[in-house]
Amino acid sequence: MAASFLGRRIALTRRSFLKIPKRHGYIVLLPEIGEESSEKNPLLKDDNLPEFNTITIEKCIAAIGKQTVDFEEKMKSLEKIESTKDLDIFNDWLHPIEDAYLPLETTWGIAKTLYFGNQSLMPTKCYVNIHERATRAIASKFGSVPLFRACKEVLDNKDLKLTHSQRRVLMKYVLEGTLNGLQLQDKELDKYSSDLSYIMSKIKEYKAKYESSTAVYSMIVQNKEIVEDFPEDYLKSIAVNPRQPYMGPWMITLKPYILQPFMEYCPDRNLREAIWNADVIRCSNYQERSVQASVTLEELRGRRTEQAQRLGFKNYAEMSMETKMAGSLENLHNTLETLRQTALPVQKQEIANLTEFAKARDFNDTLRVWDVAFWGRKQLRSMYNSDENKWRAYFPLPTVLSGLFNHIETLFNVKIVESKKADIWHKDVWFFDLFDLNGSSAAPIANFYLDPYARGTQKFLKEQHSGWVSTIKSKSKIGNSTPLIALIFNFPPPVGDKPSLLSFKDVQVLFQKFGHALQHLLTTIEYSDIAGLSFVEWDAVFICDFFMENWLYEPFMLQKISEHYETEEPLPAEAIESIKRTRSHLAGYKLCKELYLSHLDLELHSSGTFWVPMMKRLWPKYFVLPLEKRDTHVCNFEAIWSGNWAAAYFSKVWSRMIAADLYTAFQEVKSDESQQKELGARFRNTFLSLGGSYPAAEVFRKFRGRDPSPQALLDNLGLTRATKETTK
């Protein structure tokens, strides 16, 4: 441990209800942070942290305008280099590009942070303009034919001595350039560019239809009996007058954070069916012509296929595998099928049990898809005494954070210390330094903001339980830049002396997002192009999220992060046991749903078959309940049509599978503290450190010593055990 670390105890002291329980910690005397580049970013203070106290929309727009022009001019000037014979590809091209990119990334990151965290400072329309301008400028980085050819030439030259990281950076430029069609000849490149433009126009067309179709629907509920079991937070979100959540009326819309809880809590089956129906027919031919999207998505599918075939791939799904850990469609389909073969029989038993449970409570009809969420919640509570509202009292945010920070510190040998040196965009935002206890430097290796509380419409909200990790700065040796991110959540705010009390789903989101953040904060790679989550395969991006979440089902972890906010009593043993068992509730049904959507997405992007017969053929392979006649969910599958996950929807299932396998290594040595620390160090030195400097499959092998297996996920979800029980 460095001599400059002085032992003392750390507490957050902003207000009494914000205090994190005391933990052994350290303080550090910090040197001033030097300039990161020759020209200062106008949105940064002298210490190179964002000047959030004075940032305005106008400043962000002006900064992004100048920086994007500067970046594009830099790219043009580099392309004018006539001879590449004596070119030093890194010093002459890639280092100047990185130096020009970093200020642009920071301004973009600041705008994104405000968009997620304070929409009064960064409204959606303004952010979208900044986002599109930044995206367009950065596209020039991987759209330069001279740079692509130079990188390919250097990479192919076996006589040149390059570091592993340098080779990986060049591989990124070559792969991105290849997928942008840069190896094509003039006319073919023009056709390919036309494909890309057409695809973008169709994505915009679909997005407009989807948003219109979503916005046009609402249902007004007047009957107080309907909402009597609804949680208070949810009532506030749907009440026409949020100040009187119990008075009514209440408006139900198709926004996910409204729709999902309604399906769980609404006792009126006819209302559930009505909302379900409105949801699944969005953008379909059941709606008015202006929002029908079937033709649009078929045009999009067709042009994506042409795009892939111009590059020599059979179809778009095959092309997608170039940026995925899964590697090939054959390997991916085999893995998904292995999971399905175990999950489907379990689902059959789950639906039979759920039907029996509902009938014992005077349900006298056939179970339909709009019944599963409602009866599932009731069954969960009955089977495991699962009461989210009762558990909340044991998860005050300060206690959860203290336990989470302690676990991160112990596992990865770091220290997290609150600092008051940074400007913040709201009084509830905290700022933290992250110190490396392995190193000798007194300076933090990374920093992060934490904005935990919901603030009505001021914050971006998509799903009921959601969080955001916004990158403001990447690690870069070239720009002398250390990682800086913002973690933004929508947890219940404190009231008086009562702290923020989290549901268990909130705690899951918190652990997931910190897992995501650690991969950015603890990277040791010197080039921003491959540091943190840059150049990590899409289906490996969420591995650390699910890895961290897995710890939540360990009794010691639940004890560490819980304490009744008034009595300080520990979480009861029966509650711990209930939480452990809730993960397996309807696990077969839920996994089959994700597998179905993954398979549907892959087939939509590898087959020319019209989507209606495709959907009808695939549905019974994954579901016990029949496909409803009016169910046209392909038309509102927004994630693959305008959400960047085309032929990649499987990514979260894959990440969850890999995370389960990695976590199993820790379970195998759970009773040995020294081995746990050794594994923690290895996990940090692989998944948290290496970023995109190695393929994810290779990083996995460095940690596990073998290739991944789907069995760990089946065990993790309790499906292996459930299969054995159903076959007895």
**Mean pLDDT (whole number) for 146-163:** 92
pLDDT at 631: 97
Dump pLDDT digits (tens) for 602-617: 999 999 999 999 999 9
- pLDDT tops 80 at residue 85: no
Q: Are the C-beta atoms of residues 120 and 455 closer than 8 Å to each other?
A: no
Burial of 66 (0-12, 13-18, 19+ CB in 10 A): middle
Could you tell me the pLDDT band of residue 114, with boundaries at 50, 70 and 90? very high
| Residue 430 parent element (H or E) | strand 430-436
Of 534 and 722, the one with more pLDDT: 534
pLDDT at 439: 84
Which strands form 430-436's sheet, in the order they lie side by side? 414-418, 430-436, 446-453, 484-491, 467-473
243: left (phi over 0), alpha (psi -120 to 50) or beta: alpha
- pLDDT tops 50 at residue 656: yes
CA distances from 191 to 140, 146, 220, 305 (A): 18, 19, 50, 13
pLDDT at 21: 46
Could you tell me the pLDDT band of residue 355, with boundaries at 50, 70 and 90? very high
Q: Are the C-beta atoms of residues 107 and 101 closer than 8 Å to each other?
A: no
Q: Are strands 446-453 and 484-491 parallel, antiparallel or unpaired?
A: parallel
Could you tell me the pLDDT band of residue 8, with boundaries at 50, 70 and 90? very low
Rounded to whole angstroms, the Cα distance separating 654 from 543 reads: 8
Mean pLDDT, all residues of the chain: 91
pLDDT at 286: 96
Q: Which two tokens stand for residue 106?
A: 């920071």
Single out the residue of 559, 647, 658 nearest to residue 603, CA to CA: 647
Dump pLDDT digits (tens) for 44-81: 998 899 999 999 999 999 999 999 999 999 999 988 87
**Mean pLDDT (whole number) for 110-138:** 94
**Mean pLDDT (whole number) for 628-640:** 97
Q: What is the pTM for the complete model shown?
A: 0.93
pLDDT at 728: 62
pLDDT at 35: 38
- pLDDT tops 60 at residue 20: no
Dump pLDDT digits (tens) for 570-582: 999 999 999 999 9
pLDDT at 6: 27
- pLDDT tops 70 at residue 3: no
The 10 Å Cβ neighbour count of residue 420 is 9
Could you tell me the pLDDT band of residue 34, with boundaries at 50, 70 and 90? very low
Rounded to whole angstroms, the Cα distance separating 340 from 713 reads: 12
Dump pLDDT digits (tens) for 448-488: 999 999 988 888 877 767 899 999 999 999 999 999 999 99
**Mean pLDDT (whole number) for 366-392:** 91
Of 80 and 185, the one with more pLDDT: 185
Residue % of the chain over a pLDDT of 90: 84
Rounded to whole angstroms, the Cα distance separating 522 from 687 reads: 9
pLDDT at 625: 98
pLDDT at 28: 34
Of 21 and 170, the one with more pLDDT: 170
**Mean pLDDT (whole number) for 256-262:** 94
Most confident of 182-186, 388-392, 440-444, 621-625: 621-625
Could you tell me the pLDDT band of residue 712, with boundaries at 50, 70 and 90? very high
Dump pLDDT digits (tens) for 500-545: 999 999 999 999 999 999 999 999 999 999 999 999 999 999 999 9
**Mean pLDDT (whole number) for 94-119:** 95
Q: Which ranges of 478-606 would DSSP assign to H, the alpha helix?
A: 504-521, 543-550, 555-560, 573-582, 587-604
Could you tell me the pLDDT band of residue 137, with boundaries at 50, 70 and 90? very high
Q: Which of 19-28, 124-133, 482-491, 658-667 comes out lowest in average pLDDT?
A: 19-28
Dump pLDDT digits (tens) for 560-572: 999 999 999 999 9
SS3 sequence of 98-142: HHHHHHHHHHHHHHHHHHHHCCCCCCHHHHHHHHHHHHHHHHHHH
Dump pLDDT digits (tens) for 416-450: 999 999 999 999 999 999 999 998 778 999 999 99
Dump pLDDT digits (tens) for 639-652: 999 988 999 999 99
Cβ-proximal residues to 344 (8 Å cutoff; 6+ apart), any chain: 588, 592, 621, 622, 624
CA distances from 51 to 47, 117, 422, 424, 485 (A): 10, 15, 8, 8, 14
- pLDDT tops 70 at residue 118: yes
**Mean pLDDT (whole number) for 173-187:** 95
**Mean pLDDT (whole number) for 655-678:** 93
- pLDDT tops 70 at residue 399: yes
- pLDDT tops 90 at residue 359: yes
Q: Which of 214-218, 244-248, 274-278, 703-707 comes out lowest in average pLDDT?
A: 244-248
